[in-house]
């Protein structure tokens, strides 16, 4: 047989999830490395190898292996527990990804074999928890009496398959196994773990981060299905980047282009370039000077590209010389017509107007074609561009088209879902150059004099983006889009085209460097926009989380594995400890954290169940957490909601989660090092001080606390209450909201500042109780801040930015409480069902009483309704951003607490007096749900917001 692909007649596959030895050793107090040393010690005569060859029964293995481990550890090691864990949980479940791989191989008509080093269980059966029907041949070491890497076991497998060694391919992740198979003439491949993640940024060519063998690469491919002519030209992009690497040294090294259908469509590979990509042109978290330097670097790079000597670089054939804008207008008109789904009046006017107002005298240079801030990679620390991405549209053309396109953000609203804008923002105050200043910087560098047709270039830029978005929308309708948010952002084509024109009378004519409309019928750039605008909120670019996932079984395989491990941890470690922790909360020592919590936190972190809340949008490389979308985390957060103690164990509890997000998004490097790192490690806790006793704090503009500058310090005065977590002795830092400028506009008066809890002048007045309980050790405190002095460097983001931070803090954290409340309700219903099945009243089980049955039915229906709304809100946050998801967020914040109150109340009623006691979590669930009808914003505020948004629809 000739080798034509990787998949050959016989494959040995690793189909089971691995047991993590260090995790088991940590859980059982066994010195690290004991298990692997015992497996390797003794060679072929070790208890492990004898067990694999079937020479020992399970009981004999436990005895022998236990002695070997004990000798290494220096104390008794529970070998029976080791064997039990080895054959239960993750190890007893076939990996979904491998199951799918086997299915695809067999669909090609190829044979499959499983070659396993395994053993006999207590009952005499062999341990092999797989679908045996998936394999043509299964060879088990304990039955054959020989193990990998003994050459005889490979020969045995080949013989049973009826193939020659050279017609087989063997896959294994152990080097000695691969080497032994290769010596028989079998084509052997050592498997290296490969991690593949799709970048969420962009709407054109699907792009992936490939991590393999310690190296990180980027794979960029064409979308599947029929495409518009000349669109998605990855081969052109590859050539451009190869050329640019020689010219400007500003592209990652591209080294492999494949035009065949190895992965379905043509693709190329390039080195991954570490650095920073700024998706938000407002550059939150930076100082004015830092923003200024970033935009200067952007301008320098554009000049560098436009200064390339076309002839010296051998680029005369890279594009046509002259009439670039005319050709581009024709090209994008054709692209638009090919993807047109309905008539867009603004596009029709532009198609008529643009050819009549083309530039007459232009220069020809290399043009990028898609030059904007978020296509640049900046040095991790310096304001230097290290790479320019997305050269798909590059050619020879008019450089002013690149310059105009780079200024799009200046005329887009911050709420625009596709490209974040910064119109109506205080650019001078932020240190961001205006469009005029960008033009001036570029002109000085390139020796350009004033233009008399800048408006035409800007109109063309909007026109081109509108045509691109229409193509994205068309592909989404045909199921070919590279991003699952394509359907929503593609519909912005019409609004983008309208921006090119502006509504008559909405803006004055502009006049810098001759910039002004030639005719009253020319497109005009508006100063303000009404397109889906709303005040505040995070408008982070949408992620790409897939379809709305309503069941954990539909989650991606790696998230399913997390969900499974979390569920097992909850069942095995947290729920059994609940009563002890509840009793501690009612004891005299309640203000001292229970040692068990810290033990459970260590176990959870070792199990990889740590910082699960950090959203992928701010942690794209999963360096701080595990890189989940809001939708994926919703399923895990619900599980945590089964116990009020669980979130802290996984470092996912409020207010720490919101405060960590603030520091991640807005903190300086110094603030992150001092406070974010220990919070991420779970070694300290934090609180958030906004609510005040003397004003209605549901309207945050009412707060009266002051933050006054005094030389190199700020002086803080204020009276705060209901400050959750402030009483915990581990609480070391407070995020404090107060007014720095009471005379400023209503939403620019407030600022946020970091206040160490041991600062002089911070006084705990008293712990506040909720329905008579103090929620120790975290508690809810009433605090006084009297003349508290902190360094100016403790200010977050800048003066007057408090509301901006507050909206960012309410990003994914907006619905974490709702996710957990669904978990409260689900657990309450589970407890209710167990209770009524075992209790008898009036001659028959409670479970047969009509009122009980009706209550169970109502609870199940209400839980399902609320869960779907939570998941929808999370999905919209991922796909269209928090601002567009605002109605669903407001709805679920009103729906979830009330639903939970009803479900828990029914469970308490079924329990009788026991439901009110500390013996069950129901009373705590009830008090938390009731508190959250206020703590996360009063129901009335959410309902009013929903009604107003509904009336605007």
CB atoms within 10 A of CB 312: 8
Reference 565, options 574, 102, 97; nearest CA is 574
How confident is the model over 112-121, as a mean pLDDT? 89
Look at residue 20 in the predicted model and tell me its pLDDT.
57
The answer to whether residues 661 and 285 touch, using CB atoms and an 8 Å cutoff, is no
Rounded CA separation 550/754 (Å):
39
pLDDT at 253: 64
In this model, does residue 570 exceed pLDDT 60?
Answer: yes
For residue 282, what are the CA distances in angstroms to 195, 403, 412, 844? Answer: 32, 18, 12, 67
Give the pLDDT of residue 529.
25
**pLDDT, average across residues 79-84:** 85
**More confident: 889 or 267:** 889
> What is the pLDDT at residue 758?
95
Evaluate if residue 202 carries a pLDDT over 90. Answer: no
768-812 pLDDT, tens per residue? 999 888 899 999 999 999 999 999 999 998 999 998 888 666 556
Each residue's pLDDT tens digit, 715-728: 999 999 999 999 99
Question: Across residues 712-739, what is the average pLDDT?
Answer: 96
At 81 the pLDDT is 85
pLDDT at 191: 77
What is the structure's pLDDT at 97?
A: 67
Query: Whole-angstrom Cα distance, residue 874 to residue 813?
Result: 10
The pLDDT of residue 225 is above 90: no
DSSP one-letter string for 144-179? HT--TT-HHHHHHHHHHHT--GGG-EEEES-HHHHH
Per-residue confidence at 122, pLDDT binned at 50, 70, 90? confident
Vertex 422 angle, CA 398 and 351, to 5°: 45
Nearest alpha-carbon partner for 463 in 373, 356, 351, 352: 351
- pLDDT higher than 80, residue 883: no
Going by C-alpha positions, the residue among 27, 174, 65 that lies closest to residue 115 is: 174
**Residue 872: which residues within 8 A CB-CB, separation 6 or more?**
548, 888
**Does the pLDDT of residue 683 top 90, yes or no?**
yes
pLDDT over 60 at 479, yes or no: yes
**pLDDT value of position 261:** 55
- pLDDT tens column, 891-908: 999 999 999 999 999 999
Residue 541 has pLDDT above 70, yes or no: no
Three-state DSSP class for 765? Answer: strand
**Residue 232 banded pLDDT, cuts 50, 70, 90:** low
Give the C-alpha separation, 513 to 144, whole Å.
86
Share of residues in the chain with pLDDT > 90 (%): 45
Tell me what the mean pLDDT of segment 350-355 comes to.
Answer: 92
User: Average of pLDDT values for 103-122?
Assistant: 84
Q: How confident is the model at residue 545 (pLDDT cuts 50, 70, 90)?
A: very low
Q: What is the pLDDT of residue 418?
A: 67
DSSP-derived letter for residue 884 is T
According to the model, what pLDDT value does residue 444 have?
Answer: 87
Rounded to the nearest 5°, which phi and psi values hold at 171? Answer: -115, 130
Query: Does 875 or 520 have the greater pLDDT score?
Result: 875
pLDDT band, residue 523 (cuts 50/70/90): very low
How many Å apart are CA 881 and CA 873, to the nearest integer? 10
The pLDDT tens digits for 576-622 are: 999 999 999 999 999 999 999 999 999 999 888 999 999 887 777 77
Choose between 65 and 129: higher pLDDT. 65
pLDDT band at residue 879, thresholds of 50, 70 and 90? confident
Candidate ranges 36-45, 554-563, 732-741, 767-776; pick with highest mean pLDDT: 732-741
Q: Is the pLDDT of residue 480 over 80?
A: no
Helix, strand, or coil (residue 335): helix
**What is the model's pLDDT at position 691?**
93
- Considering 220-224, 455-459, 563-567, 876-880, the range whose residues carry the highest mean pLDDT is 563-567
Q: Where does the pLDDT of residue 911 fall: very low under 50, low under 70, confident under 90, or very high at 90 and above?
A: very high
The pLDDT assigned to 80 comes to 86
Question: 912 Cβ partners below 8 Å, 6+ apart?
Answer: none
State the Cα–Cα distance between residues 484 and 372, nearest whole angstrom: 23
pLDDT of residue 128: 84
Residue 210 reports pLDDT greater than 80: yes
Provide the 8-state DSSP code for 587.
Answer: S
Question: Which residues, listed in sequence order, are joined to residue 926 by a DSSP beta bridge?
Answer: none
| pLDDT, position 512 | 33
Residue 271 has phi, psi (to 5 degrees) of -65, 145
More confident of the two residues 719 and 937? 719
∠ CA 459-306-416 to the nearest 5 degrees? Answer: 35
Which residue would you say has higher pLDDT here, 158 or 882? Answer: 158
Q: What is the pLDDT of residue 507?
A: 31
Region 200-209: what's the mean pLDDT? 70
**Residue (of 740, 678, 734, 748) closest to 715 by Cα position:** 740
- Predicted confidence at residue 226, as pLDDT, reads 62
Distance CA 185, CA 735 (A): 66
- pLDDT for position 893: 92
3-state DSSP of 459-517: HHHHHHHHHHHHHHHHHHHCCCCCCCCHHHHHCCHHHHHHHHHCCCCCCCCCCCCCCCC
> Residue 904's pLDDT is what?
97
Of 867, 876, 858, the closest CA to residue 819 belongs to 867
pLDDT (0 to 100) of residue 520: 31
Burial of 834 (0-12, 13-18, 19+ CB in 10 A): exposed
Angle between helices 939-952 and 886-911 (to 10 degrees): 140
Q: Give the chain's mean pLDDT.
A: 83
Instruction: Determine whether 1 is exposed, middle or buried from the number of CB atoms within 10 Å of its CB (0-12, 13-18, 19+).
Output: exposed
pTM comes to 0.49
What average pLDDT score do residues 730-753 get? 94
């Amino acid at each position: 047989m000739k080798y034509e692909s990787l998949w050959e007649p016989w494959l040995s596959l690793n189909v089971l999830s691995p047991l993590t030895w260090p995790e088991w050793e940590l859980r059982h107090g066994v010195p690290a490395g004991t298990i692997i040393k015992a497996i390797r010690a003794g060679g072929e005569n070790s208890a492990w190898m004898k067990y694999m060859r079937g020479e020992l029964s399970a009981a004999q293995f436990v005895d022998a292996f236990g002695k070997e481990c004990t000798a290494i550890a220096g104390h008794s090691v529970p070998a029976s527990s080791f064997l039990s864990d080895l054959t239960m949980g993750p190890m007893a479940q076939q990996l979904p990804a491998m199951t799918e791989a086997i299915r695809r191989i067999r669909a090609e008509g190829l044979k499959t074999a499983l070659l396993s080093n395994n053993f006999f269980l207590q009952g005499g059966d062999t341990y092999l928890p797989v679908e045996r029907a998936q394999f043509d041949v299964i060879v088990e070491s304990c039955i054959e009496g020989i193990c990998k890497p003994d050459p005889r076991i490979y020969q045995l497998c080949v013989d049973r398959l009826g193939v020659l060694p050279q017609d087989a391919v063997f896959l294994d992740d152990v080097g000695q196994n691969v080497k032994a198979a290769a010596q028989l003439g079998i084509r052997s491949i050592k498997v290296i773990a490969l991690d593949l993640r799709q970048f969420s940024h962009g709407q054109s060519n699907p792009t992936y981060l490939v991590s393999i063998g310690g190296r990180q690469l980027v794979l960029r491919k064409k979308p599947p299905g029929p495409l518009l002519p000349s669109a998605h030209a990855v081969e052109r992009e590859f050539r451009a980047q190869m050329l640019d690497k020689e010219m400007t040294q500003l592209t990652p090294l591209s080294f492999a282009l494949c035009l065949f259908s190895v992965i379905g469509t043509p693709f190329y590979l390039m080195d991954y370039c570490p650095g920073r990509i700024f998706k938000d042109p407002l550059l939150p978290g930076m100082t004015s000077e830092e923003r200024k330097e970033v935009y200067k670097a952007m301008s320098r790079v554009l000049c560098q590209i436009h200064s390339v000597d076309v002839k010296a670089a051998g680029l005369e054939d890279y594009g046509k010389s002259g009439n670039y804008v005319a050709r581009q207008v024709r090209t994008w008109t054709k692209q638009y017509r090919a993807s047109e789904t309905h008539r867009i009046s603004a596009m029709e006017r532009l198609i008529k107007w643009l050819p009549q107002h083309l530039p007459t005298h232009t220069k020809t240079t290399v043009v990028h074609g898609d030059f904007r801030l978020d296509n640049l990679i900046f040095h991790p620390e310096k304001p230097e561009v290290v790479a320019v991405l997305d050269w798909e549209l590059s050619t020879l053309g008019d450089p002013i088209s690149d310059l105009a396109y780079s200024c799009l953000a200046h005329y887009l609203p911050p709420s625009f879902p596709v490209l974040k804008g910064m119109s109506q923002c205080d650019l001078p105050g932020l240190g961001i150059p205006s469009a005029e200043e960008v033009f001036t910087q570029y002109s000085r560098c390139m020796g350009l004099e004033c233009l008399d047709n800048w408006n035409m270039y800007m109109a063309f830029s909007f026109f081109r983006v509108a045509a691109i978005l229409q193509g994205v929308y068309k592909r989404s309708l045909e199921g070919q889009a590279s991003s699952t948010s394509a359907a929503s952002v593609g519909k912005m084509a019409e609004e983008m085209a309208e921006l090119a024109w502006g509504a008559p009378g909405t803006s004055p004519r502009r006049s810098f460097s001759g910039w002004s409309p030639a005719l009253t019928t020319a497109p005009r750039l508006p100063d303000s926009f009404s397109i889906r605008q709303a005040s505040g909120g995070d408008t982070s670019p949408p992620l790409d989380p897939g379809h709305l996932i309503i069941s954990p079984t539909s989650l991606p395989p790696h998230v399913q594995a997390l969900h499974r491990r979390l569920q097992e941890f909850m069942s095995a470690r947290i729920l059994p400890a609940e009563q002890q922790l509840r009793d501690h909360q009612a004891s005299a020592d309640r203000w001292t954290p229970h040692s068990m919590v810290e033990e459970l936190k260590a176990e959870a972190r070792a199990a990889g169940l740590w910082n699960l809340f950090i959203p992928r949008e701010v942690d794209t490389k999963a360096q701080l957490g595990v890189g989940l979308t809001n939708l994926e985390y919703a399923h895990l957060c619900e599980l945590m909601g089964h116990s009020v103690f669980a979130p802290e164990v996984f470092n996912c509890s409020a207010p720490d989660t919101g405060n960590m997000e603030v520091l991640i998004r807005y903190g300086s490097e110094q603030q992150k090092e001092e406070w974010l790192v220990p919070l991420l490690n779970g070694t300290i806790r934090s609180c958030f001080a906004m609510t005040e006793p003397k004003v209605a704090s549901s309207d945050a503009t009412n707060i009266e606390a002051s933050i006054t500058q005094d030389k190199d310090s700020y002086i803080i005065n204020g009276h705060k209450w209901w400050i959750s977590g402030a009483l915990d002795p581990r609480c070391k830092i407070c995020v404090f909201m107060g007014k720095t400028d009471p005379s400023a506009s209503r939403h620019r008066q407030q600022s946020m500042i970091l206040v160490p809890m041991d600062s002089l002048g911070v006084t705990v007045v008293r712990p506040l109780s909720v329905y008579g309980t103090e929620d120790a050790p975290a508690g809810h405190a009433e605090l006084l801040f009297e003349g508290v002095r902190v360094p100016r460097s403790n200010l977050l983001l800048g003066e007057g930015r408090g509301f901006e931070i507050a909206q960012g803090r309410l990003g994914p954290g907006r619905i974490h409480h709702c996710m957990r409340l669904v978990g409260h309700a689900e657990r309450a219903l589970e407890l209710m069902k167990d209770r009524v099945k075992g209790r008898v009243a009036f001659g028959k089980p409670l479970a047969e009483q009509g009122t009980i049955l009706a209550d169970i039915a109502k609870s199940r229906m209400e839980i399902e309704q609320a869960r779907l709304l939570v998941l929808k809100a999370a999905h919209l946050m991922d796909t269209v951003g928090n601002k567009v998801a605002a109605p669903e967020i407001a709805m679920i914040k009103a729906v979830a607490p009330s639903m939970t109150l009803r479900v828990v109340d029914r469970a308490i009623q079924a329990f009788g007096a026991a439901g009110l006691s500390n013996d069950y979590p129901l009373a705590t669930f009830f008090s938390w749900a009731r508190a959250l009808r206020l703590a996360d914003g009063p129901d009335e505020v959410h309902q009013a917001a929903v009604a107003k948004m509904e009336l605007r629809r």
